[in-house]
Amino acid sequence: MSDHHGGPGHGLAARVRHVEALLEQRGLIDSGELDRALEAYLTRASPANGARLVARAWLDEGFRSRLLADANAALPELGLSMGGGMQEQRLKVVANTEATHNVIVCTLCSCYPIALLGPSPTWYKSESYRSRVVRDPRGVLGEFGFAPGPDVEIVVWDSTAESRYLVLPRRPAGTGELGEAELAALVTRNGLIGVAAV
């Protein structure tokens, strides 16, 4: 059994080191592989990537159309890709509109567009979010301080297969004079997941 907060209780850290050492001794993994896996996850994957996609889509209708029609094909236009993980996943970008608000979850585990959002937050992976957002999305969004209007239909996307979903938030009012970098700075990870407006 494990310590409630996942600390190295019961010698977990030592057990991990022990198994890793065994695998390295047998030539089943090497430290170079381990470093590369971490580097891809920690440095190249970031919500700044998702934010750049959104800013470009806000400024360029053609890009927005291409992004919504075939996101994997549009990503290279910004030098991005869904690769870098275990396999290249299909990206599906879902646009918020005046009538529809989208929110993403993986009820079965924790699937998430890591390449465009960076590592997922603990709350996204929690039983609390996974169990509740499909049943009561308004309640969950309210806990994040976000309340779509009563006429806005909420669509929850459960990442049960190989697609990874990214929300394209609506461009906030009063941002007409902002450049692409400034627009990207408005976009939060929570907005890209759909628990915030932007």
Partner 1 sequence: MSRINDVGGMQGFAPAGQELDEPPFHADWEAHVFAMNRALIGRGAYNLDEFRDAIERMPPQEYLAASYYERWFHAITVLLVEKGVLTAQEVSGD
Partner 2 sequence: MTERFRAGDRVLTSRADPLHHTRLPRYARGATGTVVELEGRYPLPDDRSRGLPAAPEAVYAVRFSAAELFGAGDHQVTLALWESYLRPFPGRGQANE
Interacting residues toward partner 1 by CB under 8 A: 1-2, 4-8, 12-13, 15-20, 22-23, 26, 28-30, 33-35, 37-38, 41-42, 86-87, 105, 107-110, 118-119, 121-123, 125-132, 134-135, 140, 143-144, 158
Quickly tell me which residue has 């049960």 as its tokens.
160
State yes or no: residue 143 binds partner 2 (CB under 8 A). Answer: no
CA distance linking residue 69 with residue 54, whole number of Å:
14
CA distance linking residue 130 with residue 123, whole number of Å:
9
State yes or no: residue 70 binds partner 2 (CB under 8 A). Answer: no
- Among 97, 126, 128, 160, contact with partner 2 (rule: CB under 8 A): 160
Phi, psi of 100 (to 5 degrees): -135, 135
106 tagged catalytic: yes
DSSP 64-109: HHHHHH-HHHHGGGGT--S-SSSSPPEEEEEE--SSEEEEEE-SSS
> Which of partner 1, partner 2, none interacts with 128 (beta carbon under 5 to 8 A by kind)?
partner 1
Q: Which stretch binds partner 2 (CB under 8 A): 14-22, 25-33, 55-63, 161-169?
A: 161-169
111 tagged catalytic: yes
Among 109, 126, 128, 131, the active-site one is: 109
State yes or no: residue 112 binds partner 2 (CB under 8 A). Answer: no
DSSP 157: E
